[in-house]
Each structure stands twice: as structure tokens, then as C-alpha cells.
Amino acid sequence: MNRNHAFATYNEIEDRRLARLVKSTVRYLKRDWLNALGVSLVLLVFLLAIFGDRAAPYSPTHVDIESRLQPTSSVHLFGTDHVGRDVFSRVLSGAKYSIWMATVVLTVAVTVGIGVGLLAGFAGGLVGELLMRLTDLFLAFPGLIFAIAVAATLGRSLTSTAIALTTVYWPWYARMARGQALSLKNEEYVLAARCTGASLLRILGRHIWPNMLPILLIQVTLDVGYAILSTAGLSFLGLGAQPPQPEWGAMILEGRQYMRDFWWVATFPGLALFITVLGFNLLGDGLRDWLDPRLRKGRT
Amino acid sequence: MSRFLIQRIPLTIVVLWVLTVITFTLSHIIPTDPARLMAGPKASPATLERIRHRYRLDRPLLEQYATYVTRLFQGDLGRSMVSRRPVAQDLKEFFPATVELVLLAMTIAVVGGLSVGVLTAVYRGGLMDHLGRLFSVAGLSMPAFWLGLLVQLLVYYRLGWLPFGERISTDLSAFNHPTGLFTVDAILAGRLDAFVDVVKHLIMPATVLSLEPLAVIARLTRASMLEVMLQDYIRTARAKGLREQVVLARHALKNALLPTVTMIGMQIGWALGGSVLVEVIFNWPGVGRYAAKSILSADHSAVMAITLLIAATYLVANMVVDVLYVTLDPRISY
């Protein structure tokens, strides 16, 4: 027997995995044009978040009173605002605030929420009940009102907004994690792992976490859009980003009083916000359709 | 059902009590000095002391909380430091405006959402489905405050089709308002002209507020309908020769409504919170705009009262939803 042909080499296995991944991705994008649109928009926003400052033709904070409230032109693609700042440059630079806020808020919310939820699901009993009643208490408040109250308490800044939004988002992940823990902890492979003496951490890391990952990935992708919208909403109320930060919600607030005669000041930041959130929602929807086997089975 | 209500009502009261503790704590750890905010930056220490004494801000926190709860049971929600009026009077004026706005918004959302959801499910895979799904995702992605500005620019400033700000034109507002809901009050007073004017003022903010819940309801209805339409009893109904409209309305939609009803209850809570931004944009004199002003001005009494009111409304709405479940599915019992 020729050993060189009997077994695939490590490199050949890796190449096949990579080829399968590429094929899967292409199939996902071709499945529905909305999937491709979502991926494109998200990639564009991430590129802007990283390179937006460098791509901007002007400094986003450069004031030029003589050029204030100029309409769209070849010199100022999106016009200028009430102090002569280039709106196009500010829109490009604003992407990083949205992505950064969403990243921070969801990282903390997911960590806290998953921790609380898994503990509630596995511990059960009084501990589980107390944790879930605490979660329900946070959920009893309409989210935006709670976020406004917390952000106003802590002071007007993006940091306060991040803390406020984290307090609103973590209970949803706690609920999700608890549901998953309750449904998975009685699976045969988990019971088998317990019988062999596996520790709780090992069970959570090797068995529960990988099974939770698809649903978590979908939820986080969808929540990125909502976190960006919420940040902009709080900035619009004057609680989040403060002047001269080029955050989109704060830009819409500044442009509001000029809407009637100088519509571009508030319109373009809002459009950027809408396109960003649309991209993440389309991506999340596509992932949900792709990863949920029930939905895939139902397709004709 | 009565056992469900007997269990649920005390639990709701406990949750509300815990909410008073949380809102009291939150509003009292605000670093700004409410006495300074009321008196102005140039107020003397003596004036500040007088204000603190008058509003009992110089008492220990526990005593302030006990006083607050006692007054709550007496219907006294304190005095707003911003409007200088009893908070109860402010809420009596502003709450019906928000209720009217949210009711119309949710009506638009439910009717629109169910229609879009059913159509996209029935014509799955076709152009209607793609357009409906794109519309739903766009609705979820749209910043309400930005859309409100665009709608104002187009409909009010450019086309002049609808009025903006306030609930009714001043020259038409001279009639009794027993309920505080101007649409109902206009009908009760027999004033069709006032009713039409109120609806014209309501349409823009209600439509903007309805967009997100409409999108959520449409998506959920579509998903539920698709799942239900794969069931055996639907195949049986078609095999019996029933018309497709009957199959959809009597068998599919009724069963698909259960998860949607839960979502409608949650969306009422969302709409109450989301009304803050819409009311600020449209200068609508409701609780949302009042809440934004109160929070930003560190108006303790108003903040606590508003939070409790909105949370209580939300809890009651969810209780009503749970009762509706039994109507939709008699197999459910509590």
C-alpha cells in the first residue's frame, strides 16, 4: 500500500475545510440578494469605522463660519453645518462611534447576561428564582425610559450611555441563556458528561456553549443595530455624545432646528444611521435563516 | 381565570413597590442639586436651604422614601420643581395625550403588521414576499426621530398637508374634555370638525411611532403563519374543499396569532418608551416629552411618578394580553 495516497495530509484537510467554508459563504450570499446586501453594508460600515477619519476630505471638527450652512456641492458633498463643518467628513468619522459603542455595550451585556442566565438555569431552586426575578425587574421598565434615567443620573457622555444601555440589554441575554440552559441540561450528552464526573465549567464550555453559539450569534448581530439606534437616540436627547463629537445622533440633534431650510445637516447623518442598522438587521436575518434548521427545512 | 388574577395582581403590586425603591434610589443619586436647579445659579445659601426644607430634601433618605410612599397611597405624587404644579395635575393633562397617540399608533401597527405578515406568508417567495420583508427590515432599522424630521419636512413644511405641534387647533378646542382623549371628547360633544382636526394632528406622530411595532408584528405574523400552514389540520381543511380565504382566516391566522398577541403586549411597552423621542420631535404634549424634560432637569417627583405610571401601564397591558390568550386558545388555563 502506498502510504502517501492512503491518508490525507494535514494541509489537504485544512485546504478542504477552507474550500468548504468558501463554498458555504458563496451559497449563503447567492441564496438571497438581501443576504449579500446585508454583508456588503456591514463590511462598508466596518471599513468606515477603521478608515473613516483618513478618508474624510476635511477634519470633522474644523469650524469655518464663513462656509456655514452651504448646500451640497462638489466641494462639500453633503453640505456644511451651522458652524461650517463638512457634513460628509463628519458622517465618515461618525461610524467609529457607533461601532465602538455597540461593541462595548454588547460585550458587557452578553458576558453579564449569559453568566446570570446560565447560573440561574443550572443552579435552579431559590438562587435561580431570585436571579430571574431580578432579571424580570429590569425588564419591567420600558428600555428607553430606563436608559434615559440611568444616563441622566450618570452624566452626559458616551460612557454613561454605554452603562445605561448595558443595564437595558443584559436581561434579554440572561433570559435567553437560562432558556438554553434549561433545555440543554437534560440532554443525554450532558447527563453522560455529569456521570463521568465532568465539572460544571467543563460541561458549560464543552457542551452548552457550542450549542448556544448559533442562537447567540444571531441575537448579537440583530442587537448591534438596536444598540447603534439607542446610542443615537440618547445622543439626540442630549445625553450621549457631546459637541463637537461627530456622532450621528448628536448631528441630527444639531441639525433639527435647521431642518426647514437647510435639510442636509440632519438628513445625511440619519441616512448613514439607517443604512448601518439596515445592514446589521439584514445580516442577522440571513444568519437566522441559515442557521435555523427548522426554517431551512420549511423552504420549498 | 379568577385564580390567575388573584395570583397575578398581588405579584404586580410587589413589582410596583420594588420599582418605587429603584426609581427613588435612581432619582436621588443624581449628582445635580435640584434646589440649585430650581433657584438658579445665583441663589443664596439661605434660599437653597429654604427650598430644600420646603421639598423635604434635607431629610434622611429613608424618611424621604417613607413620606413618598405614604403620599402615594393618598394620591399625592408630589410637586414638580419644573412646572411648579402637582405632578398628578401634570400627568392628568399629559397622560391622555400619550394614550391617544399610542392607541392610534398600535392600531396602525396591528392592522398593517397583520396584513403585511399574512400577505408575505401567503405569497412566499414571490415579489410581494421580498418587498414585504424589505419593508419590515427597513421599518426596524429606521431611526424614529430622523423619520419624524423627514415627515415634518415633507408633509408640513413643503406640502402643508397636515398641522404640526399641539393636539388640536386653538380655534376648535373650545369644548369639554371629560376623558382627556380629544378624539373621544370631540365625538361626545358632537363636534365632527374638532374630531377631524384632532386626527389630522395625530396622524403624523402616530404613523412614525407605529413603524417599528408594525415591522415586528409583520415579521412575527409571517413566521407564525408559515409554521402553521405546514400543519396537518391545514392540509385537512384544504382537502375538505374549503376556500383558501376560509382556511387562512379561520384556521391558519387564528392559531398564528398566539405569539403575535404576546408581541403586541410587549410592543405597547416599547411604544410607551418610544413615544419619548416621537413626542419631542413633534412637540406632542404627552408624558414622553414631560419625561424627557423631567429627567434632564433632575425633577425627582416627576421622574418617579412617570416611571411608575409607565411601568404600571406596561404591567397591566401584559396582564390583558395573558387574558386574551385564553380567548384565542381555550386549551390554555392558568
Domains of chain B: 32-76 (no CATH), 93-328 (1.10.3720.10)
- Mark whether A100 and A137 lie in a shared domain: yes
Which are the contacts of A190, defined by CB distance < 8 A and separation ≥ 6?
A: A184, A203, A207, A208
Residue A164: closest C-alpha in chain B? B26
Chain A residues 78-137 with CB within 8 Å of chain B: 136-137
A-B C-beta contacts closer than 8 Å: 125
Q: Is B29's CB within 8 Å of A153's CB?
A: yes
Q: What is B47-106 written as a DSSP string?
A: HHHHHHHHTTTTS-HHHHHHHHHHHHHTT---B-TTT-SBHHHHHHHHHHHHHHHHHHHH
Counting the structural domains of chain A, the total is 2
Residue numbers in B near A236 (CB within 8 A): 145, 277
HSE, side-chain direction, 13 A CA sphere, residue B108 = 20
Which are the contacts of A299, defined by CB distance < 8 A and separation ≥ 6?
A: none
> Longest Cα pair distance anywhere in chain B, in angstroms?
85
The total number of residues shown for chain B amounts to: 334
Q: What is the pLDDT of residue A298?
A: 41
Q: What is the pLDDT of residue B234?
A: 81
Residue B266: closest C-alpha in chain A? A142
- Mark whether A228 and A254 lie in a shared domain: yes
CA distance B197 to chain A (A): 23
Q: What's A193's domain CATH number?
A: 1.10.3720.10
- Mark whether A1 and A68 lie in a shared domain: no
Give the one of A229, A237, A298 whose C-beta lies nearest to B292's C-beta: A237
- Mark whether A27 and A51 lie in a shared domain: no
Q: What is the pLDDT of residue B208?
A: 94
Where helices occur in chain A by DSSP H, the ranges are: 3-6, 10-31, 33-55, 87-123, 125-139, 143-154, 158-184, 188-195, 200-203, 209-236, 248-256, 264-291, 293-298
Q: Is A273's CB within 8 Å of B272's CB?
A: no
Residue numbers in A near B145 (CB within 8 A): 233, 236, 249, 252
Q: What is the pLDDT of residue A295?
A: 47
Other CB atoms within 10 A of residue A9 CB: 9
CA distance A2 to chain B (A): 52
Q: What is the pLDDT of residue B100?
A: 93
Give the one of B29, B144, B149 whose C-beta lies nearest to A259's C-beta: B149
Chain B residues 212-231 with CB within 8 Å of chain A: 226-227, 230
Q: What is the pLDDT of residue A1?
A: 45
Q: What is the pLDDT of residue A94?
A: 93
Tell the residue number behind the cell numbers 440532554, with chain if given: A187
- Mark whether A10 and A100 lie in a shared domain: no
Residue B262 host element (H or E)? helix B254-282
Residues spanned by the domain of A62: 38-296
DSSP bridge partners of A80: A86
- Mark whether A121 and A25 lie in a shared domain: no
From residue B207, give the alpha-carbon distance in Å to each of A295, B152, B153, B271: 32, 12, 15, 12
Q: What is the pLDDT of residue A227?
A: 92
Q: Is A142's CB within 8 Å of B130's CB?
A: no
Q: What is the pLDDT of residue A299?
A: 38
- Mark whether A195 and A213 lie in a shared domain: yes
Q: What is the pLDDT of residue A183?
A: 77
Q: Over its length of 300 residues, how does chain A's per-residue pLDDT go in tens digits?
A: 444 555 566 677 667 777 777 777 777 666 677 888 889 999 999 999 999 888 899 999 989 999 899 999 999 999 999 999 999 999 999 999 999 999 999 999 999 999 898 888 887 778 888 888 788 777 776 777 778 777 777 778 888 889 889 988 999 899 888 888 887 777 777 778 878 887 777 877 777 777 788 888 888 988 999 999 999 998 998 888 888 889 999 999 999 999 889 999 999 999 999 999 999 999 888 887 777 655 444 433
Chain B residues 261-320 with CB within 8 Å of chain A: 269-270, 272-274, 276-277, 280-281, 291-292, 295-296, 298, 303, 306-307, 310-311, 314-315
Chain segment B37-64, per-residue pLDDT in tens: 666 667 788 887 887 777 677 778 788 8
- Mark whether A26 and A77 lie in a shared domain: no
Q: What is the pLDDT of residue B34?
A: 64
Cell numbers describing residue B217 = 408584528
Q: Is B159 on the interface with A (CB under 8 A)?
A: no
- Mark whether A5 and A71 lie in a shared domain: no
Which of A130, A146, A153, A274 should we substitute to test contact with B (largest number of B Cβ atoms within 10 Å)? A153
Cα gap A192→A186, rounded to integer Å: 10
- Mark whether A108 and A65 lie in a shared domain: yes
Q: What is the pLDDT of residue A47?
A: 92
Q: What is the pLDDT of residue A155?
A: 76
Give me the residues of chain B with pLDDT under 70, please. 1-8, 26-41, 55, 321-322, 325-334
- Mark whether A201 and A229 lie in a shared domain: yes
The total number of residues shown for chain A amounts to: 300
- Mark whether A82 and A134 lie in a shared domain: yes
DSSP bridge partners of A86: A80
CA distance B187 to chain A (A): 32
